[in-house]
């Protein structure tokens, strides 16, 4: 029943984020932006969980945890 497929597990610690936008520049998918000095995810479905934003963040405000659903998703895409 629970058919959740979280494509991204990206979170920003609001207390730590300084709005410097280094993560925005680092994101290959261009899905991050700054609103009111806070990093915002604009489209989680496009997130690659590549970790570039997390690695660039000087405040270590970003957490990206990879799930291993990608192999399962590939298996599910088979049709008969
Ligand atoms: S993990 Fe990669 S694709 Fe996802 S928001 Fe960060 S830089 Fe962009
Ligand atoms: S790099 Fe870190 S501190 Fe800078 S805007 Fe992004 S999340 Fe905030």
pLDDT digits (tens, 9 = 90+) for 14-34: 999 999 999 999 999 999 999
Where does 6-79 sit in CATH, by number?
A: 3.30.70.20
Return mean pLDDT, the chain: 84
For the chain, the domains span 6-79
Higher pLDDT, 44 or 72: 44
Ligand sitting nearest the alpha carbon of 53? 1
Nearest CA residue ID for atom 4, ligand 2? 20
Q: Is the predicted pLDDT of residue 3 greater than 70, yes or no?
A: no
Nearest CA residue ID for atom 1, ligand 1? 49
Q: What is the pLDDT of residue 37?
A: 96
Q: What is the pLDDT of residue 28?
A: 98
Q: How buried is 19 (Cβ within 10 angstroms: 0-12 exposed, 13-18 middle, 19+ buried)?
A: middle
């Amino acid at each position: 029943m629970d058919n959740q497929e979280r494509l991204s597990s990206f979170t920003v610690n609001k207390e730590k984020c300084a709005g410097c936008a280094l993560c925005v520049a680092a994101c290959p998918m261009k899905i991050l932006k700054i609103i009111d000095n806070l990093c915002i995810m604009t489209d989680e479905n496009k997130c690659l969980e590549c970790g570039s934003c997390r690695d660039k963040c000087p405040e270590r405000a970003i957490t990206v945890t990879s799930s291993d659903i990608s192999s399962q998703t590939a298996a599910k895409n088979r049709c008969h």
